[in-house]
Structure 1
Amino acid sequence: MTTPAQPTQVWLTQKTFARLSAELEDLKGPRRQEIIERISAARDEGDLKENGGYHAAKDEQGKIEARIIQLEEMLANVSTETSADDHTVSPGKVVTYRYAGDDEDEVFLLGAREIDDDHEIEVFSPQSPLGAALLGAAKGSTVDFDAPNGKTLKLEIVDAVPFQE
C-alpha cells in the first residue's frame, strides 16, 4: 500500500500571503454568493438547454471553486518564515548565480510563483528545473543543470540570501 504524497510546503512573502488570503475570503464569500444568485436567476428564465447565462455562470462557478481549492491547499501548507542566512539555496532566498565561464550574474527568488504578482524579482519554484537543480547548493559551489533544451550547463552559486520585503 502506498502512502499519500505529503503536501509540499510553499514559501510566500507576507505580502503575498495576505493578498491570497484576502482573495480566498472574497471567493468564498461575496463572489460565491454572486454566482449562486446568477445561477438562480438564470434557472428562473426557464429552459436550461439553451440558456447561455446559466451555462456561463456554471462555468464561472467551476473556476471559482477550483481556485478556492487551490488557495486552501496552498495556504494550509505555507511558510512565511525568513530563511536562515547560511548562504545555501532554499525557499525564501534571493539566489544569485552565473553560468560557468560567464561573468554576468542572474538573480531570482526561490518561492511560489504566486509571489510574482507582488514583486519585480523573477520567481522560480523549488519544483522548477532551475529551482530543483540549485536547491541545497551553497555559495561558491558549482552545480550541473539539465536545461529544458537537453544541454547540461554548469552554474556557479554566487550567493543566496534571505528575501527582504
Structure 2
Amino acid sequence: MPRDVILTPEGLTKLKDELEHLQTDRRREVAERIKEAREFGDISENSEYDDAKNEQAMLESKIAQLEERIRAATVVNPEELSSDVVAIGTTVHVKDEKTGKSQKFTIVGSAEANPAESKLSNESPVGRALLGHKRNDVVSVAVPKGPARKFKITKIDVGL
C-alpha cells in the first residue's frame, strides 16, 4: 500500500515540471541513444545498446513513480492554514532553549523534505514534535545522541 503523499502547491508544481521534463526531453534523448546504438550493428553483443535500453527502463520506472506520486498526492490548501498552530505548509520560527539560537523551518510532506533548505518532513523527529503546537509552546525533541533538545516556538507563518 503506497504511503500518503502530502505536498504543498509549490511541491506539486515541481513534481509536474520534473515529470514533463522526463516525458519529453529525457525520453527523446534516450530514444536517440538507442537509435545510435542500433547503428553500431549486431545488437546481441552491443553494450551501448544494452546501456541505452537499461537507461530507458530506469527512465520509464521513474516516470511511473512520479505519476503515481502525483495521482496519490494530497495538496495542502494554503487558505485553510492558520498561524495559530503548526501544520504542514506552515513556517515555524523556533529558539533553541539551550543555545539561544533561532531557526526557522517549513513543515512539508516527506516528498518535499530538504533539510538544506530548512524544509522538514512532517515525519522527521523535529517536524513531528512541532506539529500541532502553538506560539510560545516549548517542544522537546528526542535526539539520537545526548539529552532531548527543547525548542520554543516564537512565530508561525502561513505561506511558503
> TM-score surpassing 0.5?
yes
| TM band (smaller chain) | 0.7 to 0.9
What is the aligned counterpart of 2:62 among 57, 61, 67?
Answer: 67
What is residue 158 of structure 2 aligned with on the other side? 162
2:7 paired with 1:8: no
- Mapped contact 1:12–1:115 kept (Cα < 8 A): no
Deviations 1:3-49 (CA, angstroms, capped at 9, x unpaired): x35x32322243x4333212212212342243134224323423446
- Mapped contact 1:129–1:148 kept (Cα < 8 A): no
Deviations 1:103-128 (CA, angstroms, capped at 9, x unpaired): 32110111146475xxx952111122
Output aligned runs, 1:1-165, within 5 Å. Answer: 4=1, 7-14=3-10, 16-48=11-43, 51-76=46-71, 77-82=73-78, 83-112=80-109, 114=112, 121-149=117-145, 151-164=147-160
Structure 2 unaligned regions, length at least 5:
none
SS of 1:131 mapped into structure 2: helix
User: How many equivalent pairs are there?
Assistant: 156
**What is the letter of the counterpart of residue 64 of structure 1?**
L
TM normalised by structure 2 equals 0.77
- Mapped contact 1:139–1:160 kept (Cα < 8 A): yes
Q: CA deviation at 1:50?
A: 5.1
- Mapped contact 1:97–1:156 kept (Cα < 8 A): yes
SS of 1:97 mapped into structure 2: strand
The root-mean-square deviation of aligned C-alpha atoms, in Å, is: 2.8
- Mapped contact 1:109–1:123 kept (Cα < 8 A): yes
Between the two proteins, what is the percent identity of the paired residues?
Answer: 29
TM normalised by structure 1 equals 0.75
Instruction: State how far apart, in whole Å, the 1-side matches of 2:159 and 2:87 are.
Output: 11
